[in-house]
Chains A and B, each alone.
Chain A
Amino acid sequence: MIHVEEHKDPQQNLKSESFLLPKKLYLPISQHVGAPSKLLVKKGDEVNEGDMIADVNGFVSAALHAPASGKITEIKTISHPSLKQSQGIVLNCQHQQKQDSPRKNIEELTSEQLIEIVKNSGIVGMGGAAFPTHVKLKPPKEISTLIINGCECEPYLACDCRLMIEKIKEIFAGIDIIRKLINPKEIIFAVENNKPEAIKKINLAISTKKIGLSNVRLAIVESAYPQGGEKQLIKAVTAKEVPPAGLPFDVGCLVFNVATCFAIYEAVHFSKPLIERLVSFAGDALVKPKNVWIKIGTTLKELFDSKVLEFKVSPKVIVSGGPMMGVALTGLNFPILKGTGGFLFLANTSKVDESVCLKCARCVDVCSMNLLPLEYSKLVKNNEFDSLDDFNINDCIECGCCAYSCPAKIPIVHYIKVGKACKPKK
């Protein structure tokens, strides 16, 4: 765990805005962990907002919906922030007024029906991992603790914080649905102590009869990085450690991000699939940082063309995600995905050349997973990929604490990613 400069001011205090009338959308069919979705449309098809345009394809996979009405102009390879490229759908929007239609008889829905709704709404974990939510809702083991993740530990990002401030009622309604499905003994709503306004809202919600759920408890955790990491958060609130290569349900826990709870609420109460999300745009290259509701598939370029965002100076670095775990982008032609919480536009790079490792062990002291990060950069540089498993490289969650703390500025996470990709598969 480390303490980083948070840069949450002013981002956390910016009321959310909307930009929901894009001209063109670029929709990769891999926006989640697992198999890419199966295409249901072809070039020339007309679609309505909310239509499923690609379906679940295998056990771990997610569906994709048309964020707006319009015409499919192309199916082609498009830019993807983390995969670089992916097969995708290009949609020319012809916006139509769409009324929200509240679903009736929600109380009467069975568990199977609820999970089916989530599955057919294309919901994935929105905290960054993008794991298909319907798979998570059928845990193979009994769950005693449901954890709601309201920790947004990446510097700059504040979309989850804003969502808690502006939509707490809806988040609780989403939690209520998850509660019905997995029936936990207790629900822990975890927030970092650097979000006082969100904490106020949660407390208010808990104490309000109509919204609050009987077994929800608020856990205020220290603001540190990576406090919002699944394994770290479980340890912080339950003192349990998820075993190596294990999953949260191995210790009876399940973790849902607040934005995912909100998406579940919308899907169940309004039959609205995951086609929009709240995104933070931050960094000193912007005239004004913002938190904006955006249609999935909107490109950064369109946001700048339509003056939703404006550059003060031309950015030296553009990052999808936060500064710790995000990926650097090569331009503005990238779409916003279901799992993207924010973008960073920085006017300066503090790019310092990597120097030699002096074995100061600072990376060892800060490692979130008790590893020896310096060994990874050394082994990868020497092409000794076979030995990486001796140091449990797969335990690494790529949080970046090691590289952040390294006085020699060694991009350790870069070497770890290379190492994981090159090491012999067992």
Chain B
Amino acid sequence: MRQVIIALIPATIAGLILFRIRAALLIVICVFVSIATEEVISRIRKKPSTITDYSAALTGLLLALILPPTTSWYGAILGSIFAILVGKHLFGGLGMNIFNPALIGRAFLMASYPKMLTTYIKPFAADSISCATPLALNKFSQIGTPLTDLFFGGVSGSIGETSAICLIVGGIYILIRKIADWRIPVSMLVTTIVFSTILYLTNNAYGSPLFHILSGGLLLGVFFMATDPVTTPVTKKGRYVFGITAAIMIMVIRVFGGLSEGVMYSILFMNALTPLINRYTKPKRFGA
């Protein structure tokens, strides 16, 4: 878990540079409240303290990174409490949760404060000039975004999702250090490229494959959400199933759905299917 936090450092720094004090505040609030919630729950349940396993800190950091920079302080507090309490401990605590807790926190805020969670601002700006995300611009206004901006991070979006290069650096670290299995990230990326290429060839307006890879929460989801061992399949075949299906769902939502982004819902949906996937992708029985 500590290793994943280390892998998130580049993206966190990018978020701080782009969104300054707003990002700093949200990150501090989310991490602190997540850890505090975890500690309170352990004390109530009379279990040994678990904050040193870094899992609550990671959930807090991930939640902050997938929130829009303009999220209010109380939104951040509520989201963090919900992530730890409902997303994690209601299922029985670490290792028992079905859904990624950070995504549960965000989904809760999305349902409670839809406006807050869909309002984005320009980066580097002192005051909040609201500005749609590249995916929304492309989908609803047919306005493209330069790929270099997506790559380096000069676009609007959630705190940690806008700088593709920083996420890629962290993702490579995760794969090289074997912190997570490569099958889900690789199959998700390949499927996204294949699927978006096909769509792009039928209609340029859907956005190029590179655009889809670099924009929105895809890289953050691929490297940091879909690699959470607890909520993803343990079988090798199952990991391909997870990665391919999640990527297809993301693309379907992005291109044909009512929303501009589908990473969160797709991964949550696949989390729910994970026990089933495990069951039906058991390795070949010895001798069978």
| A307 CB to nearest B CB, Å | 46
Q: What is the CA–CA distance of A277 and B279 in the complex, to the nearest angstrom? A: 46
Contact B279 A361 (CB under 8 A): no
Question: B234 touching A358 by the CB < 8 A rule?
Answer: no
Of listed B96, B279, B282, B284, residue having the most chain A CB within 10 A:
B282
Given A356-B94, A358-B95, A364-B235, verify A395-B286 contact (CB < 8 Å). Answer: yes
CB neighbours (8 Å) of A313 from chain B are none
Q: Within the assembled complex, what's the spacing in Å between the Cα atoms of A368 and B285?
A: 10
Question: Does chain A have a CB within 8 A of B229?
Answer: yes
Residue from B95, B229, B234, B287 in contact with A244 in the complex, judged by beta carbons closer than 8 Å: B287
Name the A residues within 8 Å of B288 (CB-CB): 241, 243-244
Interface contact B286-A369, CB-CB below 8 Å? yes
- In the bound assembly, the distance between CA atoms of A114 and B16 in angstroms comes to 83
Which residue of the partner chain, among A359, A361, A369, contacts B95 with CB atoms under 8 Å? A359
Most buried by B among A231, A361, A392: A361
Indicate if the CB atoms of A243 and B287 lie closer than 8 Å.
Answer: yes
Whether a CB of chain A sits under 8 angstroms from the CB of B230 is: yes
B144 within 8 A of A: no
Query: B234 and A241: CB pair below 8 A?
Result: no
Which residue of chain B is the closest to A361 with respect to CB atoms? B234
Name B230's contact: one of A231, A358, A364, A371 (CB within 8 Å): A358
**Docked-complex contact B286 and A370, CB < 8 angstroms:** yes
Contact B286 A231 (CB under 8 A): yes
Bound CA span A155–B60, Å: 44
Contact bitstring B145-170, A, C-beta under 8 A = 1, else 0: 00000000000000000000000000
A391 interfacial contact with B, CB 8 Å: yes
The distance in angstroms between the C-alpha atoms of A325 and B66, with both chains bound, is: 47
A367 and B279 CA atoms in complex are apart in Å by 16
Please give the distance in Å from A65's CB to the nearest CB on chain B: 37
Residues of A with C-beta under 8 A to B278: 372, 375
Determine the residue in chain A with the shortest Cβ distance to B180.
Answer: A360
Distance from A166 Cβ to chain B, minimum over Cβ atoms (Å): 35
Query: A356 near B93 (CB under 8 angstroms)?
Result: yes
In the docked arrangement, what's the CA distance between A356 and B96, Å?
9
Contact with A along B213-253 (1 / 0, CB 8 A): 00000000000000001101011000000000000000000
B181 at the interface (CB under 8 A from A): yes
On whether the beta carbons of A244 and B285 are closer than 8 Å, the reply is yes
Chain A residues whose CB sits within 8 angstroms of the CB of B234 once the complex forms: 359, 361, 364, 372, 374
Does B257 sit at the interface, judged by CB under 8 A? no
A364 touches B283 (CB 8 A): yes
Instruction: Output the least CB separation between B217 and chain A (Å).
Output: 23
Whether the Cβ atoms of A242 and B285 lie closer than 8 Å is no
Mask of A353-367 contacts with B, CB within 8 angstroms, 1/0: 000111111001001
Residues of chain B in range 181-196 having any CB-CB distance to chain A below 8 Å: 181
Contact residue range for chain B?
Answer: 10 to 19
Q: What's the tally of chain A residues with a CB closer than 8 Å to chain B?
A: 25
Which A residue sits closest to B1, measured CB to CB?
Answer: A358
> Closest B-chain residue to A234, C-beta based?
B287
| A360 CB contacts on chain B under 8 angstroms | 229
Q: How far is the CB of B119 from chain A (nearest CB, A)?
A: 36
CB distance from A365 to the nearest CB of B (A): 8
Whether the Cβ atoms of A359 and B229 lie closer than 8 Å is yes
| Complex CA distance for A395 and B230, rounded to whole angstroms | 25
A372 touches B229 (CB 8 A): no
Residues of B within 8 A of A372 (CB): 234-235, 278, 282-283
- Interface residue? A390 (CB, 8 A): yes
Q: Which residues of A contact B285 (CB under 8 A)?
A: 244, 369-370, 392, 395
Assembly CA distance A384 to B232 (angstroms): 22
Interface centre among A246, A359, A364, A391 (most CB of B within 10 A): A359
Which residue from chain B places its CB closest to the CB of A240 in the assembled complex? B287
Identify the closest chain A residue to B288 (Cβ).
A244
In the complex, A410 Cα to B235 Cα: how many Å? 19
Contact A361 B181 (CB under 8 A): yes
- Considering only residues 240-284 of chain B, those with a C-beta below 8 Å from chain A are 278-279, 282-284
Residues of A contacting B287 with CB < 8 Å?
A: 231, 241-244, 246
Q: Of residues 9 to 23 in B, which have CB atoms within 8 Å of A's CB atoms?
A: none
Which chain B residues numbered 74 to 128 have a C-beta less than 8 Å away from chain A? Answer: 93-96
Residues on the A chain within 8 Å of B96, using CB: 356
Give Cα A244–Cα B282 distance, bound, in whole angstroms. 15
Residues of A within 8 A of B95 (CB): 356-359
CA distance A356 to B285 in the complex (A): 27
Report yes or no: A391 in contact with B282, Cβ–Cβ below 8 A: yes
Task: Tell me how far the C-beta of A379 lies from the nearest C-beta in chain B, rounded to whole angstroms.
Answer: 12
Chain B residues lying within 8 Å of A243, measured Cβ to Cβ, are: 287-288
Give the complex CA separation of A375 and B72 in angstroms. 42
B284 & A370 in contact (Cβ 8 Å cutoff) = yes
How far, in angstroms, from A371 to B96 measured CA to CA in the complex? Answer: 20
Could you say which residues of chain A place their CB within 8 Å of the CB of B282? 370, 372, 391
* A352–chain B nearest beta-carbon distance, Å: 14
Contacts of A374 in B (CB 8 A): 234
A297 to B16: give the CA distance in the assembly, Å: 73
- In Å, the complex CA distance between A310 and B4 comes to 50
5 nearest interchain CB pairs? A356-B95, A361-B234, A241-B287, A370-B283, A243-B287
Binding site for A on B (CB under 8 A): 93-96, 181, 229-230, 232, 234-235, 278-279, 282-288
- Could you jot down 12 A-B contacts, CB within 8 Å? A241-B288, A243-B287, A244-B287, A358-B95, A359-B95, A359-B230, A359-B232, A361-B235, A370-B286, A372-B234, A372-B235, A372-B278
- Known pairs A244-B288, A358-B95, A374-B234 / 11 extra A-B pairs, C-beta < 8 Å: A231-B286, A242-B286, A244-B286, A246-B287, A358-B94, A361-B229, A361-B234, A370-B282, A370-B283, A372-B235, A372-B283
